[in-house]
Amino acid sequence: MFTEYINHYTSLRENYKKLLNMINSYDEIIIMRHLRPDPDAIGSQLALKEILKCVFPNKKVTALGESEASLEFLGKMDTATSVEQPLLIVVDTAGVGRIDGDISVGDKVVKIDHHPNHEPYGDINIVETGVSSTSELIFLLASAWGFDNDYINDVSARLLFSGIVGDTGRFLFNNTSTLTLKVASELRKFDFDAAQDMTEMNKQSLDQFKFKGYLINNFEMTDKGVLHVWVPRSVLSDYELTSNEASMHVNIYREIDEAKIWFMAVEEADNIRVRVRSKETVINDVAESFGGGGHPLASGVSIASYEELQLLIEALDSKL
């Protein structure tokens, strides 16, 4: 059913057999993903672990990285143990600097991702920007291996579905393709409570909810439509929020008709985390020129100073 899609995605088509051979030759496999994980990072990481555990019950497969409390309902990370020469698979992570872990522990490294591939750090790189999410890509990979019927189970289906839902904004963003919906439809045949997971994914504390008031009352917007909001650490402490909890509201501005591009700049201990979003104008080139990266319409940058923020506003404004 997915053969035409597998054939269409070159790095998948050219590497899925090689990857299976590589997996076959290791007894221990570690799966990592990016810092500050989102549902796609955790979903693709833990789903791949579950699939490999089902296919290869005798291999030791571990998922490593800092735990993220708001996503623990999807599953937990393993504790790192010292492993000799494992195969390391990194999912959903464009560059080495964003990996939540040390890739030098891997004898060989595999990259599986859907962000632009500026840093092909793997010995094998399966990178496809045309899919909605790494979770969608893991499903295609399992399908290419012929494992989709027998080795995807309720656990991995739930994880992949959650990852796809997360990265497509519940199937509303323009990365939602026919394939995305076909994969989601396959996954939905399994037994898991998707509605309950959506509730979990979107729930927020009273402080987080009240913080929306700050965001609504404190943004600025250029004449052309670059909306931006500055969240200093003092505001985080007023609302008793972590940077991650505050940053999750970035899409609150999507509904404003006049906002073409928008970003949230959240002051952290040693830098400023900027999440940038756009409705139509490509922004990842601007993010990259500031040392960040991401997708054409959803990017991120880590910047050093408030002054640099003004340059970012100007650069984004010049794209409109």
Q: Is there binding between residue 302 and ligand AMP (CB under 6 A)?
A: yes
Residue 115 in the binding site for ligand AMP (CB under 6 A)? yes
Question: Which x/- pattern over 31-50 shows residues binding ligand AMP (rule: CB under 6 A)?
Answer: ---x----------------
Part of the chain binding ligand AMP (CB under 6 A), chosen from 105-113, 178-186, 201-209, 290-298: 290-298
Interface with ligand AMP, residue 298, by CB under 6 A = yes
The residue among 30 and 287 lying less far from ligand AMP, judged by its C-beta, is 287
Q: Considering CB under 6 A, how many residues would be counted as binding ligand AMP?
A: 14
Q: Which stretch binds ligand AMP (CB under 6 A): 82-90, 188-196, 229-237, 293-301?
A: 293-301
Give the pairing of strands 28-32 and 60-63: parallel
> Could you write out the three-class secondary structure of the chain?
CCHHHHHHCHHHHHHHHHHHHHHHCCCEEEEECECCCCHHHHHHHHHHHHHHHHHCCCCEEEECCCCCHHHHHHCCCCCCCCCCCCEEEEECCCCHHHECCCHHHCCEEEEEECCCCCCCCCCEEEECCCCCCHHHHHHHHHHHCCCCCCCCCHHHHHHHHHHHHHHCCCCCCCCCCHHHHHHHHHHCCCCCCHHHHHHHHHCCCHHHHHHHHHHHHHCEECCCCEEEEEECHHHHHHCCCCHHHHHCCHHHHHHCCCCCEEEEEEECCCCEEEEEEECCCCCHHHHHHCCCEEECCEEEEEECCHHHHHHHHHHHHCCC
CB of 32 to ligand AMP, least distance (A): 14
Least distance (Å) from ligand AMP to the CB of residue 286?
Answer: 12
Per CB under 6 A, the list member of 49, 53, 260, 275 interacting with ligand AMP is 275
Stretch that binds ligand AMP, among 19-27, 226-234, 296-304, 309-317 (CB under 6 A): 296-304
Shortest Å, Cβ 187 to ligand AMP:
22
Q: For ligand AMP, which residue has the nearest CB? A: 300
Q: Please say which residue, 260 or 295, places its beta carbon nearer to ligand AMP.
A: 295
Dihedral of alpha carbons 290, 176, 13, 52, sign: positive
Is 94 one of the binding residues for ligand AMP (CB under 6 A)? yes
With binding defined as CB under 6 A, does residue 228 bind ligand AMP?
no
Q: How far is CA 26 from CA 29, 87, 159, 188, 320, in A?
A: 7, 6, 24, 32, 50
Q: How far apart are CA 300 and CA 290, in angstroms?
A: 9
Question: Residue 53 or 114: which CB sits closer to ligand AMP?
Answer: 114
Please report whether residue 164 would count as binding ligand AMP according to CB under 6 A.
no
In angstroms, what is the minimal distance from the CB of 59 to ligand AMP?
29
Contact window for ligand AMP (CB under 6 A) among 61-69, 118-126, 169-177, 287-295:
287-295
Binds ligand AMP by CB under 6 A, chosen from 131, 292, 312, 313: 292
Query: In the complex, which residues of this chain contact ligand AMP (CB under 6 A)?
Result: 34, 94, 98, 115, 275, 292-295, 298-302
